[in-house]
Structure 1
Amino acid sequence: MAMYRLSGAIKMLVLTAFVTCGCGGKPVEEQEETTNSTQKEIVSVPGNLVLNPGENNPRNSEGDFIELEDGKILFVYSHYYGESSSDHATAYLAGRFSEDKGKTWTKEDVEILPNEGGMNVMSVSLLRLQNGDIAMFYLRKNNTDDCIPYMRVSKDEAKTWSDPIACITDDEGYFVLNNDRVVQLEDGTLMLAVAKHAGPGMEWRGRADLYAYSSTDNGQTWERSEMVPNPKEIVLQEPGLVELADGSILMVIRTDAGVQCYSYSKDKGKTWSEVEESTLVSPVSPATIERIPGTGDLLAVWNNNLSDDPDIAKLRTPLNSAISKDEGKTWTNIKTLEDNPDGWYCYIAMDFVGDEVLLGYCAGNRPGGTGLSVTKITKLGADWFYKE
């Protein structure tokens, strides 16, 4: 498969303090069991909540935040049950609440949505709509060629939810929508980006076809874009969206190119530019990029990892942040959130609460087989991300 050549400018982004790693999306039980030893002190930001696996709960992952009208914050995530932590194992959507802006959290789960899929429901996005309602998006996974994002709406602050609405009705297949991925544009359009990996009669493949789906009626109906052009036929997966200051849309894409890749839409997501490399060095692992309300800058959280050693270059550690003041073209203020060489950091949810940032992400131990099984929530001041 084609690979981009990394420029010197891209390599400048790599933190020289790390000899670390990131990787490519296999279920936990398929990940390698090698361990990297290190003598330096391991960086790990404090955790306000750590959701560890337990009895009949082999994995907790891929969630999102919503701030409620009463000031509480709700975190909804994929709660696996049974014996397996595979992406295709059984899971329902569970919630935890915070009454102090994310400093502390309730100790017991509340079931938000039971498992209505043949395999599971997982990978949550929560969004406060412009009309005041709360929208919850999730994957309903029935089998390996039937996985579709659905939307439910709450008009009573997440106490009850509407009947589900399928976001894809014009096609069948296995579509991936990551957690914390749905956006509402300034003009009210809802938009999500998906990666199609399989369909009826198709063999499942890692190199997905990417599309955006948009809705101008608060999610009642959805229209598909043209496919994102991929002339170099690299592996494209797990896209996310950011509305830029000029009204165009940036799609951020997990790839095998050694960097995150970009595609742009100037017509509200109907068509997309050819995929191009960004300066965010990355393994095959997703990045989350959102706009900081207080400054208007973009904040990225991702695995800033580059190595000539292929066993290191695929690992999802360290976990870093960076700031862009030019709409994602260049990135500065690179910070380290986590750098345990045995860690596995990915599927980041980001929420801005006042002048603070809440992050929720997978933070398990790869050699221990819990890479995607542990979710960590941490709270940091927005100014922390600007410090040199």
Structure 2
Amino acid sequence: MIRFSFNKPGQGIIAGRQIAATAMVFCILLSACSSGKRSASSTGALHDIVLKLPPGQDNPRNSEGSFVTLKDGRILFVYSRYTGINSGDHAPAYLAGRYSSDGGKTWTAQDVKIVDREGGMNVMSVSLLRLKNGTIALFYLRKNSTVDCIPVVRFSDDEAKTWSAPVDCITDQQGYFVLNNDRVIQLADGRLMLAVAKHSSPSDSKWLEKGALFAYYSDDNGRTWTAGQQVPTPAGIITQEPGLVALKDGRVMMYIRASGGSQYVSYSKDRGAGWSTAVPFNLKSPVSPATIERIPSTGDLLAVWNNNDGSVAAIKGKRTPLTVAVSKDDGKSWIHIKNLEADPDGWYCYTAIHFYKKNVLLAYCAGSQKTKTHLSVTDISRFPLTDLYKF
């Protein structure tokens, strides 16, 4: 097995020629598979697409969801279901849910409305989290305008049958804040944390591609929230869509969608109050979000991202392939690197990760560039956890 180690900031994982070769093999394998199974790499590992949510009439987009396991063993997946004819980020949408009673193998055929459309535009970007006190927290963005979008949270004490009134997570400033789906974490001591990028404010309505990055934290199970210091970021680098993962040494790592050819990272030694200057990370990617979570049963990190360093002209800047990798040293190096999806026409992003017993569920946007369904299609993939450690 080849071990890819990255001690220098910005060093890549897989060279461009390897990406192209993997993509070519992947296309061949995809055409040979049937019954919903597709090959995850040239080594032959398979994953199942267990649910596909394509657009339809009065439903131009389905995207950006999250999972939670209920006490009766069912899995709930909640996502943004758009209505009307416009699939843009500001189009009307509500939060819809699907259930699985067999560990994610099959799913209910009809949507259940979880949260109706609120605000002037929509609700989107769901994060579900089972809190240490047993309550289920449902985070999402309530979008009123291009200068008014903040994360809010609702709580359920009856296993997602009913939800509390929404609580605003940002009250110290106003503006358009982006919290990606499946991004809220709870530390071992109970502190809740979320990371956001601020792109505009009512006092200055100009939209800034480079988001100002903040982490907010709560020590009362999400009822009130405090802002950490703004994350220092280098000039000339676009920073967007941050996520968080707790490290074994007590630090919290913020991983950041960025320009410059890779993800960027910042670290907090004080549970989110202060942050180091963001630097290039060892996950090469276009300007596209990654997702990193800890695997409960092994303690390793799982990364899902677009392993695309831009060296292959056909996919330069594109959100393909969709790659998974494991780290046993909290992100210093990555092993077991394999492409889950590698269609050059694909558009894979906004992943949600869920671990259920001995299996992994991944939900992600899986549209087509040619048909312009980029973010309109969401797939849920399921595979054994042991497959992450093969090859």
The TM-score normalised by the length of structure 1 is 0.91
Letter in 2 for 1:77: Y
| 1:308 lines up with 2:308 in the alignment | no
**1:11, distance to aligned residue in structure 2 (A):** 3.2
Please give the alpha-carbon distance, in whole angstroms, between the structure 2 residues aligned to 1:188 and 1:257: 35
**1:383, distance to aligned residue in structure 2 (A):** 1.0
2:11 corresponds to which residue?
A: 10
Please give the alpha-carbon distance, in whole angstroms, between the structure 2 residues aligned to 1:344 and 1:299: 20
Residues 20 and 305 in structure 1, CA contact (< 8 A), matched pair in contact too: no
| 1:275 lines up with 2:278 in the alignment | yes
**Using CA pairs below 8 Å that are at least 6 residues apart, which structure has the higher relative contact order?**
1
Q: What do you get for the CA RMSD once the two structures are aligned?
A: 2.0
The TM-score normalised by the length of structure 2 is 0.91
2:93 corresponds to which residue?
A: 91
Deviation string for 1:50-83 (max 9, x for gaps)? 0010000000000000000000000000000000
Moved more, 376-385 or 133-142: 376-385
Instruction: Give the gaps of 5 or more residues in structure 2.
Output: 1-6, 31-38, 41-46
Letter in 2 for 1:153: F
Instruction: Give the gaps of 5 or more residues in structure 1.
Output: 1-5, 22-35
Residues 137 and 152 in structure 1, CA contact (< 8 A), matched pair in contact too: yes
1:3 corresponds to which residue?
A: none
**Count of aligned residue pairs for this structure pair:** 368
1:121 corresponds to which residue?
A: 123
Query: 1:297 pairs with 279, 283, 300, which one?
Result: 300
Distance 1:168 1:310, change over 3 A: farther
Residues 20 and 318 in structure 1, CA contact (< 8 A), matched pair in contact too: no
2:226 corresponds to which residue?
A: 223
Deviation string for 1:313-342 (max 9, x for gaps)? 210000000111111111111011000010
| 1:341 lines up with 2:344 in the alignment | yes
2:114 corresponds to which residue?
A: 112
Residues 13 and 284 in structure 2, CA contact (< 8 A), matched pair in contact too: no
Query: 2:159 pairs with 151, 157, 163, which one?
Result: 157
Please give the alpha-carbon distance, in whole angstroms, between the structure 2 residues aligned to 1:109 and 1:102: 16
Residues 10 and 262 in structure 2, CA contact (< 8 A), matched pair in contact too: no
| 1:327 lines up with 2:350 in the alignment | no
2:215 corresponds to which residue?
A: 212
Helix, strand or coil at the partner of 1:180: coil
**1:18, distance to aligned residue in structure 2 (A):** 2.6
Please give the alpha-carbon distance, in whole angstroms, between the structure 2 residues aligned to 1:269 and 1:184: 12
**1:106, distance to aligned residue in structure 2 (A):** 0.2
Please give the alpha-carbon distance, in whole angstroms, between the structure 1 residues aligned to 2:180 and 2:81: 15
Distance 1:310 1:150, change over 3 A: farther
Letter in 2 for 1:218: N
Please give the alpha-carbon distance, in whole angstroms, between the structure 1 residues aligned to 2:107 and 2:15: 34
Letter in 2 for 1:106: T
Deviation string for 1:24-47 (max 9, x for gaps)? xxxxxxxxxxxx9x9744456421
Please give the alpha-carbon distance, in whole angstroms, between the structure 2 residues aligned to 1:194 and 1:158: 25
2:35 corresponds to which residue?
A: none
**1:12, distance to aligned residue in structure 2 (A):** 4.1
Distance 1:14 1:351, change over 3 A: farther
2:242 corresponds to which residue?
A: 239
